[in-house]
Amino acid sequence: MKALWQRVRAPSRIHLGLLGAAIAYWLADPTPRSILIGSLVALPGELLRIWASGHLVKEREVTRSGPYRWVRHPLYLGSGVIGLGFVIAANSVLSAVAVSVYMAVTLRAAIRYEEATLAKRHGEEYLAYRAGTAAPMDRTFSFERVMRNREYRAVIGFGVGVGLLWLRRL
């Protein structure tokens, strides 16, 4: 039987994420203050994701520029910060539990799958990057890469999430 991290791939994470978001939203008890503070916490997470996606060339290389110079998984780190912001905005312990369980299971699975794939595809280059011994790349941020990596979907999701929490207040 395949390990969980081999089975939980991007489409599954998205569907689980939508289900988790619906549950967390249903359990939420936001206040204007919690939404404002949560949004301010989540915003740097989205900005990190945009910065990372502006450097990332998926499947063709081991990216080592931008935030990838310091963090192996800046997209997932950004998602974690966004999740923390949502937890604060939702203002609910049960919502926090739902978000935390989703993030812990799916991000861990995604990281394990991605690392195994990168090691298989890029061998020593990825292992050197993972060990922190690979030289950084000299690449500038590209908005075209942000769009090609479809980060606009996360930006839209961020906006929709904040909007839904405001609607929950009604």
Domain borders along the chain are: 33-168
Residue 11 predicted with pLDDT over 60: no
Q: Is the confidence at residue 152, as pLDDT, over 90?
A: yes
**Positive or negative, the Cα torsion across 56, 78, 47, 23?**
positive
- Whole-number pLDDT of residue 13: 66
How high is the mean pLDDT of the chain? 90
Question: What one-character DSSP code corresponds to residue 68?
Answer: G
* pLDDT over 90 percentage in the chain: 72
In angstroms, the CA 107 to CA 113 distance is 10
Mean pLDDT for the stretch of residues 13-18: 74
Is a pLDDT exceeding 50 seen at residue 5?
A: no
Show Cβ contacts of residue 153 under 8 Å, excluding neighbours closer than 6 positions: none
d(CA 120, CA 18): 30
Please report the pLDDT score of residue 102 as a whole number: 86
Three-state SS annotation for 3-54: CHHHHCCHHHHHHHHHHHHHHHHHHCCCCHHHHHHHHHHHHHHHHHHHHHHC
**pTM listed for this prediction:** 0.89
What is the per-residue pLDDT across 70-125, written as a single tens digit (0 to 9) for each? 999 999 999 999 999 999 999 999 999 999 988 888 888 889 888 999 999 999 99
Tell me which residue of 17, 2, 3 sits closest to 107, measured CA to CA.
17
Q: Give CA–CA dist 30/8, Å, rounded.
A: 30
Q: What average pLDDT does range 148-161 have in this prediction?
A: 94
